[in-house]
């Protein structure tokens, strides 16, 4: 796919959707513009290129504002959304020492997002994401101990084969992707979109806030969080725990694919080792 320069596509979307851009910021994956359309504050997000979030507008539309930011316009690689104010990330709650409260908020967001429309055609499945294990084990890389990667692959495959009630999931629902709005409460942003069972959705939250592994990468923290999700969402705690273990290793594999270094001090590996004896 040939992609025109990002600046051209931002200008085109702003023009086509009638957005007066007031300020913007660049991230590693996108350009995010803040502005107004008519009398309404909006956010225009344009992706740099195809990737996990390329169809985030379609995914958000399927949630129809239930637990997620509202979409006004979307095409592949670009989405126009409501602006959330003050936009405080849920990370703040956990880092203020209120992780139990943050977990309850995440559970409520998941509950509100639990009845989406059918997934957009061609939405990736958790089985497809699991191909990363095969890539890693065939790569010859040794940053992740082979026995850990092989166990995670086996656990992940077993979970995939025994899923129940699969539906559209956010796919990357963690503390950084849940923001506070004064009027609508806590809302999810930036979905990747994946088809899987509800227990899969917990995995990203278990390994965040990423920069503070001491908050989440202990058996005690994992047990407390998983039991809270079980109580609030009536999930299968054993399956959520197993998904959390396998996804932590898969996330480390994705980091290696993206050029990052992984070792025993990496938060994802620390979490996987914390959960491993609990399986």
Helical ranges in the chain per DSSP H = 6-16, 56-63, 91-95, 99-112, 126-129, 131-139, 146-161, 202-206, 213-216, 219-233, 237-257, 267-275
Residues 6+ apart with CB under 8 A from 87: 179, 180, 181
Helical ranges in 182-266 per DSSP H = 202-206, 213-216, 219-233, 237-257
Query: Is the separation of the CB atoms in 175 and 147 below 8 Å?
Result: no
- To the query of whether residue 172 is one of the catalytic residues in this protein, the response is yes
Catalytic residue among 52, 99, 141, 172: 172
Alpha-carbon torsion 149, 269, 102, 170, what sign? negative
Nearest to 57 by CA among 70, 42, 41: 70
| Residues recognised as catalytic | 172
């Amino acid at each position: 796919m040939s992609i025109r320069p990002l600046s051209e596509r931002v200008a085109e979307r702003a023009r086509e959707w009638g957005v007066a851009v007031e300020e913007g910021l660049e991230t590693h994956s996108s350009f995010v513009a803040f502005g107004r359309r008519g009398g309404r504050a909006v956010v225009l997000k344009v992706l740099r290129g195809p990737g996990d979030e390329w169809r985030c507008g379609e995914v958000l539309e399927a949630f129809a504002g239930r637990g997620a930011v509202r979409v006004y316009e979307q095409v592949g690689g670009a989405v126009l959304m409501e602006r959330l104010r003050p936009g405080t990330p849920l990370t703040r709650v956990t880092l203020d020492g209120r992780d139990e409260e943050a977990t309850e908020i995440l559970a409520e967001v998941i509950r509100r997002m639990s009845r989406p429309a059918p997934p957009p055609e061609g939405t990736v499945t958790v089985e497809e994401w699991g191909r990363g294990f095969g890539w890693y084990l065939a790569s010859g890389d040794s940053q992740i101990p082979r026995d850990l990667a092989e166990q995670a692959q086996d656990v992940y495959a077993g979970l995939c084969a025994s899923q129940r009630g699969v539906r559209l999931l956010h796919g990357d629902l963690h503390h950084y992707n849940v923001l506070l709005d004064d009027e609508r409460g806590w809302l999810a942003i930036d979905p990747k979109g994946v088809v899987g069972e509800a227990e899969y959705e917990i995995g990203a939250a278990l390994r965040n806030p990423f920069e503070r592994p001491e908050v989440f990468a202990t058996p005690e923290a994992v047990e407390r969080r998983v039991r809270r999700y079980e109580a609030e969402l009536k999930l299968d705690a054993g399956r959520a725990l197993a998904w959390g273990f396998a996804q932590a290793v898969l996330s480390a594999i994705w980091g290696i694919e993206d050029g990052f270094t992984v070792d025993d001090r990496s938060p994802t590996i620390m979490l996987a080792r914390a959960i491993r004896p609990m399986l």
